[in-house]
Structure 1
């Protein structure tokens, strides 16, 4: 796996020397180690590959998803009946706001009236809209998604709100992202997109179905993550000793993440019920272990962080070795100087990212003016704190491990003879 060494001679401040590839024996040893790790990951994937995923569909028989165009909106006043409509003091208001929208949808039931010159049958229906969507600017011309339920005994179908139709803006944003990534990153950018597709496929076809099938969450998350990174790293950064160091460092970080996550989730009794979607999954399936979902999610979330840190550490050590040489202690010290800065910036980046994800929970807690101790103790905040802490633990241990491995291998890459020296 370390066949090329990827030496860089870009005019360093020091000697600017390139490094020769590692010896055949060292490369062979690295290859064996990587293949063993990948084989173990593949074995884990196969062992937890879901057979028959339990059906959790509760959709009304005959229900269809239809898309339509809003022709108008209005605010109505209706009687409060739902528990979530209670006021902050716990009392039930007499009336609440009930936004409505008129939507033109395809009508597959009626026969088009050719006398009116319509190319296709349509009808206008009225549906109740979530207040947040209404106040977010829903208006005439917006595309929306509704659910149509067939009427009883051939009667009129009923329509309910499902969501806004976001396909067009999402397609535009994703297209711009892909184009800019390829234009700026070129081959590396294209490889990164391919790696992203591999990771997404692993989550969609292995992680999610395996969790629904009640497979061991740690084995599912760890085996899938290790296998994915084995593909993504080499696909994006090429086959080199640096990439191998980054991969092995990432694997070590994932093992630390798994161990720390299990201990922290068990100690904090995190059940994964802090989100409405998670609770719905449990109600619908009646069996999914949401504690396992928290563990698997923590492992998946750690992938990008560990990859970023390990690649940087491996590159930093190799560049120092190529620029000025030095022994193991010098290389390790230089790499750790870079690693400490990177670790510090990554830790607060991770924390802010999780804080952003938990913002709705923070807003709700602020509205009810809860004490700081109760705030930290809440399930939603505790889960984010555990994810941040586990990520920080993994990063703190991954940096020195990756740096040490990079320094040891970089020492085996000897500076190449100077060009034109006659040697």
Structure 2
């Protein structure tokens, strides 16, 4: 008695489509060359920038801060002659007629007066800090032209808690994502390096914001995507989809800013930049912020879509059209979840502003068209449109690169062979 054996056919390694691969890789090479040329042409001059008045000491130089900790705090009369001075004796009392203030004796832990103490006083308002003995603080050290030294409260000392959070973030990322997590952290470092060495100095020099933002953002995307996900056709499809979507986001951002007459001057930081750095365009700064703010969410969606396409192509053994349709079903769910995440993130950023408007008795229409709220609406709308368009775009690029052919079935746990460029 013979037993007939049938061997089922399963999806084999992804076949590389030579023409599509050449088009995608060639496009990325051209974009990379354009980014490099743009970086050379827009590279900051390195000239010294005028220090805004808000960040100057009485001599016109940089404000320096030193470490300190609160020795004691109490409520007492305002107007003490000892306020801000380096103490050589107990602080003198204030003037009762001037009202009540929060008084604090602060030990100076670094700088030329390390080991001494200073006396700080604050008018009691809801916005003033409240001190307890042992609180770590940063204080401004001010030296006038005659060499007289005084101190003012600057902020709380947060270095150690923030460092602890950063270390915890890095450890958790590496433990869970392992090698990919470590590479992602390196990508973050590269992104900040691009911003600090190129993007911010170029904007400070007064270079046009749109090309600076596009060149800097493209350089960041090349680094973070290839570092975190490896060099492959899969990640190349995601990168090309992200770059094209970023260009769409840039054009939409420009149109939104122009059509809705957004100026950015209602933001306090923008006003400071406009007042003391006249060479910087506030509108351009707003545009650059729109573009850079869209990168993270675009990268997330495009990498997911490219991976979905390649996995479907590898396992389903279907045509490119069917793979595209299946990946789009996943992409639609991703769009839905990411769009409301994007909108809620911007709403959270604008929550204090919305709270103020909620008690202002203004009509809802007036609130929505005010510049502060309109900027967040435009930012969310631009990000959402670019996000939605990135899904079919990246899916189509990835589907053009990945097809399947029937192949022998592999046993459980058996490694499939890898092509050179496929992750």
Rounded to whole Å, the distance in 2 between the matches of 1:97 and 1:381 is 38
Q: Return the match for 1:362 from 323, 333, 354.
A: 354
1:102 aligns with 2:105: yes
Q: Partner of 1:181 in structure 2?
A: 173
Q: Is the 8 A contact 2:74 2:102 kept in 1?
A: yes
Q: Is the 8 A contact 2:11 2:405 kept in 1?
A: no
Q: Report the 3-state secondary structure (helix = DSSP H, G, I; strand = E; otherwise coil) of the residue aligned with 1:270.
A: coil
Q: Deviations over 1:87-136 (max 9, x none)?
A: xxxxxxxx9975443211158667xxxxxxxxx6412322437845646x
Q: Deviations over 1:268-306 (max 9, x none)?
A: 111112321121111121332111111111111111111
What is the deviation of 1:35? 1.0
Gaps of at least 5 residues in structure 1 are: 1-13, 80-94, 111-119
Rounded to whole Å, the distance in 2 between the matches of 1:30 and 1:204 is 30
Q: Is the 8 A contact 1:19 1:322 kept in 2?
A: yes
Change (3 A) 1:226 1:148: same
Rounded to whole Å, the distance in 2 between the matches of 1:78 and 1:287 is 42
Q: Deviations over 1:51-85 (max 9, x none)?
A: 13452313122653122111233456879xxxxxx
Q: Report the 3-state secondary structure (helix = DSSP H, G, I; strand = E; otherwise coil) of the residue aligned with 2:139.
A: strand
Q: TM-score, normalised by structure 2?
A: 0.83
Rounded to whole Å, the distance in 2 between the matches of 1:51 and 1:142 is 42
Q: Is the 8 A contact 1:20 1:415 kept in 2?
A: no
Change (3 A) 1:419 1:262: same
1:66 aligns with 2:66: yes
1:254 aligns with 2:257: no
What is the deviation of 1:30? 3.2
Q: Report the 3-state secondary structure (helix = DSSP H, G, I; strand = E; otherwise coil) of the residue aligned with 2:108.
A: strand
Change (3 A) 1:130 1:341: farther
What is the correspondence of 1:205-354 to structure 2 with a 5 Å cutoff? 205-354=197-346
Q: Which moved more, 1:210-219 or 1:282-291?
A: 282-291
Q: Return the match for 2:399 from 402, 407, 415.
A: 407
Q: TM-score, normalised by structure 1?
A: 0.83
Q: Is the 8 A contact 2:317 2:405 kept in 1?
A: no
Gaps of at least 5 residues in structure 2 are: 1-7, 80-97, 412-423
Rounded to whole Å, the distance in 2 between the matches of 1:300 and 1:75 is 46
Rounded to whole Å, the distance in 1 between the matches of 2:392 and 2:124 is 50
Rounded to whole Å, the distance in 2 between the matches of 1:319 and 1:106 is 58
Change (3 A) 1:276 1:184: same
Q: Partner of 2:131 in structure 1?
A: 138
What is the deviation of 1:194? 0.5
Rounded to whole Å, the distance in 1 between the matches of 2:338 and 2:48 is 39
Q: Deviations over 1:131-153 (max 9, x none)?
A: 45646x53211111111222564
Rounded to whole Å, the distance in 1 between the matches of 2:364 and 2:103 is 39
Rounded to whole Å, the distance in 2 between the matches of 1:143 and 1:25 is 62
Q: Report the 3-state secondary structure (helix = DSSP H, G, I; strand = E; otherwise coil) of the residue aligned with 2:206.
A: coil
How many residue pairs are counted as aligned between the two chains? 381
Q: Report the 3-state secondary structure (helix = DSSP H, G, I; strand = E; otherwise coil) of the residue aligned with 1:148.
A: strand
Q: Deviations over 1:290-338 (max 9, x none)?
A: 1111111111111111111111111111122222222232112111111
Q: Report the 3-state secondary structure (helix = DSSP H, G, I; strand = E; otherwise coil) of the residue aligned with 1:65.
A: strand
Q: Partner of 1:52 in structure 2?
A: 46
Q: Partner of 1:117 in structure 2?
A: none
Rounded to whole Å, the distance in 2 between the matches of 1:133 and 1:103 is 20
Q: Deviations over 1:177-225 (max 9, x none)?
A: 1111111111000010011111111111111111111111111111111
Q: Report the 3-state secondary structure (helix = DSSP H, G, I; strand = E; otherwise coil) of the residue aligned with 1:128.
A: strand
Q: Partner of 2:35 in structure 1?
A: 41
Change (3 A) 1:106 1:234: closer
